[in-house]
Amino acid sequence: MGFDLTRRRFLIGSGVAATGLLTGCDALVENATVNDVLQKAESLTLGTQRLLMPHQPLAREYTEADMSPVFKANGTSQPDGEEYARLMESNFADWKLTVNGMVQRPLELSLADLKAMASRTQITRHDCVEGWSAIGKWTGVQLGLVLEKAGLAPGARFAVFHCADEYEKTLDGSGQYYESIDLVDAWHPQTILAYSMNGKDLEVAHGAPLRLRVERQLGYKHAKYVMRIELVDSFKGLWGGKGGFWEDRGYEWYAGI
Ligand SMILES: Nc1nc2c(c(=O)[nH]1)N[C@H]1C(S)=C(S)[C@@H](COP(=O)(O)O)O[C@H]1N2
Ligand SMILES: [Mo]
């Protein structure tokens, strides 16, 4: 594997570790091109380095025969609140996904709008930090297509997913679930906004009406109950400022599998 400890120390010393690069780093260093980029890239941001990566590998996809008979629901399995209850009652007919922030054309998309767009189906393995995995089939629209509809404003760097649920009130008194990914993952072909699981409409326990699948990262990145996608240039001012509910509680922002 040829991982160079000096290099790791250098990266930590330069502060790159704080951005979460090292989680995905061991896989990268095998690649000479990326290594060269890293050697020369002391002052580049994590985002720039990832955009320079020569290829974006796909997460493994499985067959129908591999699908888990039981797929556990984890975290919130039923959001509280009157607004969500009302939407659920009408089977999300009145629900709309908001896309706003640093975009050229803010969007309000219904489930019908999303289903009318090109879809992608993928059978993948979900890995939760709590130590369980399950293989499921997901159908949805590629996030990149939705973001292309909105058009990014100059300077946008992250997509933030605001969810309907409060998972757990801690820290600042809010337990609002949210997550974020960078633009590399946002345009990755397997990053989809899923409205269907295992061939059926997405169930409430798994994030109805819409949840993120970001297949090269751990379970907590896969935001359920997505209500709004906000494009931002930093996480400052968003809850704990670390880019996600679990990140604000100490988890890695880049949760590579
Ligand atoms: N909105 C929201 N999204 C969430 C969570 C949550 O509590 N609320 N839990 C996360 C965690 S830790 C995991 S493992 C997966 C679980 O997805 P599942 O319920 O479909 O198994 O959702 C993730 N997304
Ligand atoms: Mo999880």
Could you write out the three-class secondary structure of 79-114? CCCHHHHHHHHCCCCCCEEEEEECECCCEEEEHHHH
The pLDDT tens digits of the residues spanning 184-234 come to: 999 999 999 999 999 999 999 999 999 999 999 999 999 999 999 999 999
Pocket residues: Cβ below 6 A from ligand 1: 72-76, 128, 163, 165, 167, 177, 206-207, 219-220, 222-225
**Residue 23 domain-assigned?**
no
The pLDDT value given to residue 50 = 57
Say if residue 77's pLDDT is above 70: yes
Say if residue 87's pLDDT is above 60: yes
Ligand 2 centroid to Cα of residue 90, in Å, is 29
Residue 161 CB coordination number (10 Å): 26
Say if residue 165's pLDDT is above 80: yes
The conformational region for residue 207 under phi > 0 = left, psi -120 to 50 = alpha, else beta, is left
Nearest Cα residue to atom 2 of ligand 1: 224
Range of the domain at 162: 59-249
**Residue 113 domain-assigned?**
yes
Cα 84 from chain centroid (whole Å): 22
pTM over 0.85, yes/no: no
Say if residue 41's pLDDT is above 60: no
Mean pLDDT of 132-152: 98
Q: Which atom of ligand 1 is nearest to the CA of 246?
A: 12
Q: How far apart are CA 27 and CA 169, in angstroms?
A: 36
* Total domains in the fold of the chain: 1
pLDDT band at 52 (very low <50, low <70, confident <90, very high): low
Give the domain CATH number at 145: 3.90.420.10
**Residue 79 domain-assigned?**
yes
**Residue 39 domain-assigned?**
no
Mean pLDDT of 134-153: 98
Q: Which atom of ligand 1 is nearest to the CA of 76?
A: 7
Mean pLDDT of 242-255: 96
**Residue 240 domain-assigned?**
yes
Ligand 1 centroid to Cα of residue 226, in Å, is 11
**Residue 30 domain-assigned?**
no
